[in-house]
Amino acid sequence: MKKDERRLKVGILGCGPIAQAAHFESATKARNADLYAICDVADDLRNRMAATHAPAKSYARYEEMLADPELEAVVIATSDSFHVPATVQALRAGKHVLCEKPLGISVEEVESLREVVAKSGKTLQVGHMKRFDAGLQSAKSFIDTEMGELLALKAWYCDSTHRYAMTDAVQPLMVKSANARKPAQDPKADLERYYMLAHGCHLLDTARYFGGEIVEVEARLRNRFGAYCWFIDVAFASGALGHLDLTVAVRMDWHEGFQIYGQNGSVIGKTYNPWYYKTSDVDIFREATGETTRILGADGHFYRRQLEGFADTILNGTAMTGADVEDGIASVRGMAAIAQSVKSGKSVKLVDVTGSV
Ligand SMILES: NC(=O)c1ccc[n+]([C@@H]2O[C@H](COP(=O)([O-])OP(=O)(O)OC[C@H]3O[C@@H](n4cnc5c(N)ncnc54)[C@H](O)[C@@H]3O)[C@@H](O)[C@H]2O)c1
């Protein structure tokens, strides 16, 4: 792959599954970035990844990686509860940050980031990589320039019971280590919370990417035969109606997509399991011409495209099209509001919400 002359020197914190499946390859393939450093406390894992991906530097301690004057940016690829502290450390060390989603696990901790980002003068982007799916980008461009008023939006994100058969077939074999640093509490101990943090944050970000600010949610949850289904009524600030469906896991293929009803046309999208690196099928219907168009999006590497967008913002001042700190905060507020609405049976305003997801 052709590389630009000026490239962002990126360090990746964490050599776990997401780094192995997405970030190492993204940094080595990116046109405008290099895999400058990797970091993991687990020596066996880090050494194996260093041998495979050949970064210039390899660090056991995060502080040491951050103290490297040549390092320009970090990708935070660790467990959710480490995101905010690791982001703060990097910004204070003068490094730009691409932090995996969700930005954090409580409203208060993500709110605290706003000021740290502003003071640092550095770029913080959140890893809502679906914003770099060319299909979703084509819908966004239609919404912003041609669609007129939004009437309603429906979006669904339904993980499949067959997802590991699918991902095992296409991802590299994951290298694990008994020495990896994990949070004190196993994130999968509470599946309701884990599914919301892992998957719900994507659904909320997609809804906000298209529909704008969400102000209120009313959510119901059913748990049957081990499957969790959230149906969420959403009020957008624009007055448009929204309905979100998060189901983990459906007894069928991966099922993700959206429908958007606008003044001058409509959009229907089908999104694939991300590890297939296949751009969503997004059909845009224009009322004026009576025609439907669909972009091919031959380059479906959302994670590499996300890193390239991040690097473009830093190196060339290109406007950020990824999720910024406000988007990251809004997604966490949305998840916390959904959890509270499920508990109380009432609708919850996002401005009122506090506490953990
Ligand atoms: N965008 C997506 O599609 C997507 C998909 C899957 C996972 N994710 C996100 O990725 C993150 C999880 O990644 P994972 O499953 O690879 O995590 P993991 O916990 O399995 O691995 C993280 C690695 O980081 C290391 N580490 C943690 N803190 C460290 C520190 N301070 N210093 C040095 N090393 C440290 C650990 O030793 C571990 O090896 C989650 O936030 C998850 O939401 C995103």
Task: Please report, in tens digits, the pLDDT of each residue of the chain (357 residues total).
Answer: 789 999 999 999 999 999 999 999 999 999 999 999 999 999 999 999 999 999 999 999 999 999 999 999 999 999 999 999 999 999 999 999 999 999 999 999 999 999 999 999 999 999 999 999 999 999 999 999 999 999 999 999 999 999 999 999 999 999 999 999 999 999 999 999 999 999 999 999 999 999 999 999 999 999 999 999 999 999 999 999 999 999 999 999 999 999 999 999 999 999 999 999 999 999 999 999 999 999 999 999 999 999 999 999 999 999 999 999 999 999 999 999 999 999 999 999 999 999 999
> Do residues 58 and 50 make contact, with C-beta atoms less than 8 angstroms apart?
yes
> CA 319, CA 64: separation in Å to the nearest integer?
31
Q: Checking DSSP bridges between strand 281-286 and strand 265-271, what pairing results, if any?
A: antiparallel
User: In 68-145, which ranges are continuous DSSP H helix?
Assistant: 83-92, 107-120, 134-145
> CA 126, CA 264: separation in Å to the nearest integer?
31
39 lines ligand 1 (CB under 6 A): yes
pLDDT in tens, 74-117: 999 999 999 999 999 999 999 999 999 999 999 999 999 999 99
Distance 75 CA to ligand 1 centre (A): 10
Probe target for ligand 1 pocket from 44, 66, 78, with the most ligand atoms within 8 Å of CB: 78
E strands within 66-188? 73-76, 96-99, 124-126, 150-160
Closest CA to 217 of 330, 140, 139, 317: 330
Distance 338 CA to ligand 1 centre (A): 25
> CA 197, CA 53: separation in Å to the nearest integer?
29
Closest CA to 332 of 344, 340, 321: 340
The residue whose CA is least distant from atom 26 of ligand 1 is 14
> CA 214, CA 239: separation in Å to the nearest integer?
10
> CA 198, CA 194: separation in Å to the nearest integer?
6
Ligand 1 atom having least distance to the Cα of 20: 16
